[in-house]
Amino acid sequence: MKHRRPLVGGNWKMNTSRLSSATLARAVVDGLVGLKGVDVAVFPPFPYLLSVGAILRERGSSIRLGAQDACDQPDGALTGEVSCAMLKDCGVSVVLVGHSERRHALEENETVVHNKARAALAAGLDVVLCVGERIEEREAGRTDMVNEEQVRLALREVPGEQIARLAVAYEPVWAIGTGRTATPADAQDAHAKIRAVLADLYGQDEADRVRIIYGGSMKAANAAAILAQPDVDGGLVGGASLSAGEFVPIVRAAAG
């Protein structure tokens, strides 16, 4: 039996509308009523945080409201940015940092990821730090090296007492939105190695408490096998989180 409570996140990315985000939120809440033993978060686009948060609250749901990104600066002349304090003001309690689409499509480098991770943790938000290798890195046998480097660089100077609010999402870039998933054995291998890095940084006890979740084309049909791995503590779900009919069974599989 795993001693870590599983975590499943629904990363809606730049999808949904005001109406469809509300419909989706209601369907997810209704589909998970009474389910215990799992933490769930949804990550709607910024403009829908308040309305989705209101739906979660009015239905008495324990689903947490998450943001897909946060600025590392507290305030000021930074057009288009959203601060951690603003997110908290809107009811957000958890934020994604270092998602591969931000690292690669939007060219966020390691310094930006590091600054965001530190700022969000310091602001009291929970952080899901996303790491993962690209296909050319995997083929060159660099998977573990890339994951280790991304974890170490992001968590530089992050004090041990904040690690209780950290989860790591292992998301091989070649699996995101492609329909290809890591095999359960590959996911387990990467997760165990990431946990070893966390143990080196913070000690084995702390590392054993950190949830390491898998992301990359997770869906209802493949979730159970991946989630059954000893170091896989949940999932970060993109495409399949846009349908309650897919997302709810994934969460149920994680709850065990």
Q: Which residues bind ligand PGA (CB under 6 A)?
A: 11, 171, 176-177, 215-218, 236-240
CB-based burial of residue 19 (10 Å sphere; 0-12 exposed, 13-18 middle, 19+ buried)? Answer: exposed
Closest residue by beta carbon to ligand PGA: 238
CB of 137 to ligand PGA, least distance (A): 17
CB of 204 to ligand PGA, least distance (A): 28
Closest CB to ligand PGA among residues 11, 229: 11
CB of 173 to ligand PGA, least distance (A): 9
171 counts as catalytic: yes
CB of 60 to ligand PGA, least distance (A): 27
Closest CB to ligand PGA among residues 120, 202: 120
Residue tagged 């993962």 (tokens): 132
Closest CB to ligand PGA among residues 67, 240: 240
191 counts as catalytic: no
**Cα–Cα dist 40/7, whole Å:** 6
- Among 101, 108, 171, 246, the active-site one is 171
Closest CB to ligand PGA among residues 175, 210: 175
- Among 99, 108, 133, 246, the active-site one is 99
Q: Annotated catalytic sites, by residue?
A: 99, 171
